[in-house]
Amino acid sequence: WIQGRFKGTEYTNGLAATRKVAVGGPFLRGQTIVVGALEEGPITVNGHPVLTSFPSSYTLPNGAGRITYDSNGRLVDGATHIWEKKVVRMDLPLGVTMEIFRWSNYLDFRLTMTAQPGQDGCCGNFNNDAADDGTWHMMQRMGGRVSPGENLFNHHMHLGWTSHEEALMRMCEGTRAAEADAFCARSNPAGSVPFKWCKLDACFGSNEHLLRMTKNLGI
């Protein structure tokens, strides 16, 4: 299992960025690795800090792989070349490798793996059909949250309306708001996707300039 925790930052006007990544489950033979942005605290394995010096390396118990922490790695986002690189590389079972770039309040990462039976999630389902890899399709298949029995983090994040989201919702009004409400009620009758996510996506998900718009409005 590979899971992400997504939260807004002051630099993204509340829009979500990857703040933590957790790797674990049966394929990792009982180990759980959690890597967060620099301000999120230390890298941990099974809840214990590891890789506390830089650079350093760590071998997982039970032959589950190896983790290194240094400045080596090809950037995911070229614009980040101005910052010092702090890169966690994982070489794990089933040919899974990850390069995680730790910045002050978010992560960039690159995941390389082969297709696995039943694979699904934010990176798609690996069925060679990009049309069903969107957020909405994934949530319809899997639901909006990881089930408690499979959650690799200590707890679920509380989902409330942020001030930025409330400001966006005030901009979604009239016919547009009514159509979004109807779409979410029709497409998500069982409530597998939290209503706020559905409505935000229905109102603004296709707006490629949303971030620029929110900055201009001071949201």
Predicted pLDDT at 33:
93
Q: What is the pLDDT of residues 59-69, one digit of tens each?
A: 998 888 999 99
Is 72 or 134 the better-scoring residue by pLDDT? 72
Which of these, 145, 137, 136, lies nearest to 198 by C-alpha position? 136
Predicted pLDDT at 211:
47
Q: How far is CA 181 from the centre of its chain?
A: 26
* Both structure tokens of 187: 């497409």
Average pLDDT over residues 72-83: 89
Average pLDDT over residues 14-31: 85
Cα–Cα distance, 184 to 168 (Å, whole number):
17
Which of these, 125, 142, 141, 145, lies nearest to 133 by C-alpha position? 125
Which of these, 213, 141, 152, 159, lies nearest to 7 by C-alpha position? 159
Task: Tell me the CA end-to-end span of the chain in Å, nearest whole number.
Answer: 35
Is 210 or 133 the better-scoring residue by pLDDT? 133
Q: Among the listed ranges 10-24, 52-66, 112-126, 194-208, which one has the minimum average pLDDT value?
A: 194-208
Instruction: Give the predicted TM-score (pTM) of the model.
Output: 0.68
Q: What is the pLDDT of residues 167-179, one digit of tens each?
A: 777 888 888 888 8
